[in-house]
Amino acid sequence: MSLSRPQMFAMSVLVLLFSVCLATPVAADDWPQWRGPGRDGVWREEGIVESFPIDRLEILWQREISSGYSGPTVADGRVYVTDRVVDESEQQTERVHCFDARNGRSLWQHDYECPYVGISYDAGPRASVTIHDGRAYSLGTLGHMYCFEVESGEILWKKDLFSEYNIDMPAWGITCSPLVERECVIVQIGGSPGACLVAFDRISGIERWRALDDDPSYSSPITIDQAGQRVVVCWTGERVVGVSPATGQLHWEYPLPPKKWVRACASPVWDGDRLLVSGFFVGSLMLRLHTDQLAVEKLWYRVGPSENETEALHVSIAEPMIQDGLIFGVDSFGQLRCLDAETGQRYWENLEVIPQQRWSTLRLIPRRDSVWLFTELGDLVISRLSREGYREISRAKLIEPTKRQLPSRRAGVCWSHPAFADRHVFARNDKQIVCASLADR
């Protein structure tokens, strides 16, 4: 059958369009802040492997760094991470690194003297660098805050928050990863007077507002949508609050005082009209967010007799997740658990994903119909989590655990949250930062 000239032309166009579609790369995402683009731990990229071909991931590049708890962040082809160095003369320095995401080449680095006095768990900085609109915002353990130009590393503005805000320094230092919301960059620092939360103009660094007389916690704030408004949610050392990102005005609060001492580390977790916080000593609190007004009410609260005898979930460091009406999270001694999001009732517990030890940590990263796990032993795991239980699909070693983050309790841990960007994973321990491809070739 012969084709007419118009038919041949149409066929050529279809073939060309099909070829272009095949050649077009899958869209890549960044990981520009604490827990990713949505600050919710969700990884949304396509074109990712469904299982690992070998039990140890092939490392694309690795670069030597020093110790720290901060997870890497990635934006526009650059990787950011912070660390701490103590030299032979006992001089203590915190550093902010910027690497090329393709090959690990150092693009710039900023060092500043930072003696740790009275800081427990002194491996290094806690807060991830936040990247937004050509600027990178870092916050060190003792409150050294910087705004850098991302290409050159030029300091655009800086703050010594410890001195400027009269901070009664928490035992583990300042851990809040900066939150950018519109024209403000917001941090929880526990300053006084009335400066538990402080917002700075993200361009000039001038204070926009301060709020609350609360003691600080170690939890980083998030932003949610409620009743048609943006609301900053923060778990302080005394309560869970919702404030205006523009003014700091308190919209609502729910008390959650510490049972022994402040150990609120995980960020709040938001799912529609539900808000969950969980801590090592205080257990888990689920709040109902009103949808027609800026208000909350308790949906349920569950706490065991102690961190050894827990009822629902007492998380140590890593955020739980809410998915399909279920809560998945790691309890105080490494028990992976599934709860009913409406009641807090436990459906099951798994004791085999990570070793059962005090403060065991497991990062949960939802992606499509799977949940990726990063264990404190440096393994990357692809799993399925459901009401029926835990199913492991594939596991591979990504990075070796090191002892500096937890020097006295076990043979080494990897507590820092990894970053997932451009179909790669970026992870750090106390000696190096590594990058491995996760692209489905």
pLDDT tens digit string along 369-386?
Answer: 999 999 999 999 999 999
Answer whether residue 10 shows pLDDT above 90: no
38, 40, 46, 48: CA torsion to nearest 10? 140
Answer whether residue 179 shows pLDDT above 80: yes
Predicted TM-score of the model (pTM): 0.93
Average pLDDT, the chain: 94
Query: What pLDDT digit, counting tens, does each position of 409-423 carry?
Result: 889 999 999 999 999
Query: What pLDDT digit, counting tens, does each position of 112-162 carry?
Result: 999 999 999 999 999 999 999 999 999 999 999 999 999 999 999 999 999
Average pLDDT over residues 388-397: 98
pLDDT band, residue 275 (cuts 50/70/90): very high
CA distance 217 to 171: 10
Answer whether residue 21 shows pLDDT above 70: no
Answer whether residue 307 shows pLDDT above 90: no
Domain residue extents for the chain = 27-158+417-441
Residue 166 has φ and ψ, to the nearest 5°, of 50, 50
337 with 330: CB under 8 angstroms?
A: yes
Average pLDDT over residues 329-352: 96
DSSP-derived letter for residue 261 is S
How far is the CA of 40 from the CAs of 85, 121, 150, 282, 364, in angstroms? 31, 26, 24, 22, 10
Fold of the CATH domain 27-158+417-441: Thrombin, subunit H (2.40.10)
CA distance 303 to 313: 8
pLDDT at 12: 46
Three-state secondary structure along 169-223?
A: CCCCCCCCCCEEECCEEEEEEEECCCEEEEEEECCCCCEEEEECCCCCCCCCCEE
Look up tokens 């650059």; give the residue: 78
pLDDT at 26: 52
Measured in residues, the chain has a length of 441
Measure CA 269 to chain center: 11
CA distance 117 to 127: 18
Q: Is 156 exposed, middle or buried (0-12, 13-18, 19+ CB in 10 A)?
A: middle
Alpha-carbon Rg of the chain, whole angstroms? 23
CA distance 215 to 212: 9
Query: What pLDDT digit, counting tens, does each position of 212-263 carry?
Result: 999 999 999 999 999 999 999 999 999 999 999 999 999 999 999 998 889 9
Average pLDDT over residues 341-364: 95
Taking residue 223's Cβ as centre, other Cβ atoms within 10 Å add up to 17
- The fraction of the chain above a pLDDT of 70, given in percent, is 94
The sign of the CA dihedral 288, 295, 255, 222 is positive
CA distance 65 to 435: 13
pLDDT at 260: 85
DSSP-derived letter for residue 89 is T
Of all helices (H) and strands (E), which one includes residue 98?
Answer: strand 92-100
Question: Residue 166: left if φ>0, alpha if ψ -120 to 50, beta else—which one?
Answer: left
Q: Which residues face 274 on adjacent strands?
A: 271, 288
Interior/surface letters 54-64, b for 16+ CB within 10 angstroms, e for the rest: eeebeebbbbe
- The fraction of the chain above a pLDDT of 90, given in percent, is 89
Measure CA 141 to chain center: 16
Average pLDDT over residues 101-110: 98
Q: Which residues face 287 on adjacent strands?
A: 275, 298
pLDDT at 5: 52
Average pLDDT over residues 296-321: 94
Answer whether residue 2 shows pLDDT above 60: no
Look up tokens 């655990």; give the residue: 401
pLDDT at 15: 41
407 vs 237, residue with greater confidence: 237
CA distance 255 to 54: 48
Pairing type for strands 222-226 and 229-235 reads: antiparallel
Average pLDDT over residues 28-53: 96
Pairing type for strands 59-64 and 73-75 reads: unpaired
Average pLDDT over residues 364-372: 97
DSSP-derived letter for residue 140 is -
pLDDT at 14: 42
pLDDT band, residue 24 (cuts 50/70/90): very low
pLDDT at 4: 55
pLDDT at 13: 41
